[in-house]
Amino acid sequence: SAVISQKPSRDICQRGTSLTIQCQVDSQVTMMFWYRQQPGQSLTLIATANQGSEATYESGFVIDKFPISRPNLTFSTLTVSNMSPEDSSIYLCSAQGEDQPQHFGDGTRLSIL
Amino acid sequence: AQRVTQPEKLLSVFKGAPVELKCNYSYSGSPELFWYVQYSRQRLQLLLRHISRESIKGFTADLNKGETSFHLKKPFAQEEDSAMYYCALIQGAQKLVFGQGTRLTINP
C-alpha cells in the first residue's frame, strides 16, 4: 500500500494567519482526499483533491477557507486560511490507488491561539 | 443521506472474552464497508473491508444487508486490540463516510 507523508505533524498558529499542509505519496495514486477531525469527533471529508483541476468540496467547506492544490499524482497541499480557534483540529490526507482502499497519513495537529 | 452509526462510544471487555463492535449503516445503493483502526500514537489504518471477506488479527465482519449492519467481531480479545475503531462506507466518487468511532479497551 502507498506510504503517505504529511507535514508538518503539528503546529501552533496565531489567529488570522494561514498554514499550508503538505501531503506526499510514495507512488502514483488515483484519488487524494483531505479530512478534518475535530476534538472528540470522527473524520469529516473536506474535499477531494483533483489532479490538475479545482478540488471538489463537501457541503460546509469552501475554497476560500481551504484552498487545495494537487499539481501531480503524488502530491497535494491543503491551506487553512485566516485561522480561528474553531479550526483547531487534526487534518488528515488520504490516498487511494486503482482498486485499492484509502490509506491515511499521520495527520497534522493544528492548534490556534 | 448515507450514514454510519456506531452506537457505543466506549467498550470495555476482559482479555480472552469475545468482542463485538457494532456498526449500522444507511445507504440507498450497494454498500462497500470498511473497518479502520487507530492504535495509540499510530496513524489510522485499514483493518478490513467487506469485499475481502478475510480475517485480520482475528477480527471478522460480515455484511448483513437485511439488518444493514457490519459488526466487527473477535472471539478472544487480546490486550493489543485496545484502540479506536471506525466503521466507514464508500459513497459516490470513493468518498468515505465514517461513524463516530468506538474506543475499545481490553482489560487484563
Over the stretch B61-98, which tens digit does the pLDDT of each residue have? 989 989 999 999 999 999 999 999 999 998 777 889 99
> From B6, which residue of chain A is nearest by alpha-carbon distance?
A42
> From B5, which residue of chain A is nearest by alpha-carbon distance?
A42
Whether A103 sits inside 8 A of B98 (CB atoms) is no
Per-residue pLDDT of chain A (113 residues; tens, 9 = 90+): 789 999 999 999 999 999 999 999 998 888 999 999 999 899 999 999 988 889 999 999 999 999 999 999 999 999 999 999 999 999 999 999 888 889 999 999 999 99
Pairs of residues, one from chain A and one from chain B, whose beta carbons lie less than 8 Å apart: 42
Interface of A with B in 20-59 (CB under 8 A): 31, 33, 41-45, 48, 56, 58
Instruction: Give the model's confidence band at B55: pLDDT under 50 very low, under 70 low, under 90 confident, else very high.
Output: confident
Q: What is the pLDDT of residue B94?
A: 81
Instruction: Give the model's confidence band at B30: pLDDT under 50 very low, under 70 low, under 90 confident, else very high.
Output: confident
Instruction: Give the model's confidence band at B46: pLDDT under 50 very low, under 70 low, under 90 confident, else very high.
Output: very high
Residue B60: pLDDT over 90 = yes
Specify the pairing of strand A108-112 against strand B83-91: unpaired
Q: How many CB atoms lie within 10 A of CB A82?
A: 11
Please give the DSSP secondary-structure letter assigned to residue B59: B
Mean pLDDT of chain B: 92
Q: What is the pLDDT of residue A105?
A: 95
Whether A107 sits inside 8 A of B43 (CB atoms) is yes
Task: Tell which residue, B43, B1, B100, has the closest CA to residue A38.
Answer: B100
Whether B86 sits inside 8 A of A42 (CB atoms) is yes
Whether B94 sits inside 8 A of A45 (CB atoms) is no
Q: Which three cell numbers stand for residue B86?
A: 471506525
Task: Tell which residue, B47, B45, B93, has the closest CA to residue A3.
Answer: B45
